[in-house]
Chains A and B, each alone.
Chain A
Amino acid sequence: MVLADRNPSLRIALVGLLVVSVVAGALVGGPLVLLSVWGLGGLAVAVCGLLLLSLLLYALPSLVQSGLDATPAETAGRADLQATVDRLAQTIHAPAPQVAVVDDPRPNAATVGGGAGTLFVTTGLLDLLGGEELRAVLAHELAQLRHHDATLMTLLALPVVFTMGMHRAASDAREGGHYHGTGIGVIVAIPVALVALLSFPVTVLFSRTREYAADRAAAVITGDPAALGMALQRIDRVRAHNEAADTTDADAPTLVGTLGIVPDEGFPLSHPPVSKRVERLRSLLREQESG
């Protein structure tokens, strides 16, 4: 790991490898376990599960788009945003994603895959940032899209989300007074909870490493590490101010928050602290100056 410490790209790649092994292990191992426990019936369950999963990943972009009430940038009068993203995509020779504007005062941005993908920005972000700082955030999102971060995060987070859902369903049932605990429930719940417990640190490590990776890529794409550093600090100040004033609407959609450039209130561990991200951008800037 000494080499990896000196080489950020290698460290990023190692964590990527770990995650891909976990995801591939779960996708291959899960059906095998079911096959061995329940025979062909188990395999059928696994195949159905995988089909549902692919359907979910396939439908995710349009689900997010309709859930967020997003407008394409061109119809929202921000054709310039689309043109800037086209230019950034050209820099890394990637197909340009569709840019969509979400009416939300909290500054944030996120991407979801599917074709060339969609890049969401909130009106709060557009009000807060302009010029090179906005461009840096767009480049960060473009890098995440190129790395399929939203898809991998969705796959990784599934056990955690599933456990939380089961826990909620169970406690709702208990409160309702009609809780019939059966053996099957426990047999399913224990391994799922175990997987969730194990996958949680991997998810956190993965998510943080990918944020650093996208920061680096954005700095290289724009040639301007300082702009991203300033943008992150600016977004962070607004968030701190909002949290202190508690002005956020609890019912507002939070998907952009969870997958966004800064974390949602619900899962702050998913992103490294802004101060650390800025420190890494500073060292990139120093590298750039000293050659």
Chain B
Amino acid sequence: MGFFDSVKSVLGIRAETDATRAADPEDLFGMSTAYLTMEADLDFPSAGAAALCFSAVDSTDFAAAVDDVEAILSAGEEETGTTFRRHEDDHGYHWVILEDDDPEDLVTSVHFAADEFVQQDYGSRLLAALFGFQKADGTRAYWVYSFRRGAYYPFCPSGDRERNNRLEFKLQTVLDGELEVEGDERYWYPMWPDAPGSHPWE
């Protein structure tokens, strides 16, 4: 925690400024090569899906911004075949879910959608982008990109609200350097699915 963060915290204005901090979507493209490493070195191919998690604003202007994001993704659907749908989870957060067998198209579509939020001045509402991986035996793993931090962290759910720490440790070790990995594990927020065994966006 930096000195100015502490000052803002004690002065009572930190939570609001942190909630309005601009998003940092720049490092999203690091995921393109990470997909290759995940499959070649760890035998973890793409699950064929990625998702963008955001927090809504109760305003007409925000609803219009989301419509614009959908319009961009619809245009992309015709071009690359990346399908998308919307979902609201039990915690009141919204998701744009993208499905495509080509990971490259997933990364591009997530970046398009995120960039549109930023262009519309709603970058601070972006929480995370998730990229799904699944082994042949069904083991799942996610790389989570935190827009607040501009860094990735691994999330490997197993069973009912348990994390496979060993696998997360391994993913961090192998991909560190290739991806900007969040060093402080307190910020490896779990993204639990509404029902165990499904994707966090289901």
Contacts and interface: CB of A to CB of B under 8 A. Distances in A.
A and B interact physically: yes
Contacts of A86: 189-190
A131 B17 CA distance: 25
A288 B59 contact: yes
Contacts of B21: 93
Given A87-B93, A135-B91, A224-B58, A15 B190 contact: no
Contact of A213 (B16, B92, B148, B187): B16
Nearest to B60: A289
B186 interface: yes
A185 interface: no
A285 interface: yes
A230 B143 CA distance: 37
Contacts of A89: 189
A83 B180 CA distance: 25
B125 interface: yes
A209 interface: yes
A225 B93 CA distance: 16
Given A93-B149, A96-B189, A220 B20 contact: yes
Chain A residues touching B, range: 35 or more
A291 interface: yes
A142 B15 contact: yes
Contacts of B82: none
B113 interface: no
Given A83-B190, A87-B91, A93-B187, A221 B11 contact: no
A222 interface: yes
Contact of B19 (A15, A16, A220): A220
A226 interface: yes
Contacts of B20: 220
Interface string B54-74: 011111111000000000000
B10 interface: yes
Interface string B119-130: 000000101100
Interface of B: 9-21, 55-62, 90-93, 125, 127-128, 146, 148-149, 161, 186-187, 189-190, 192
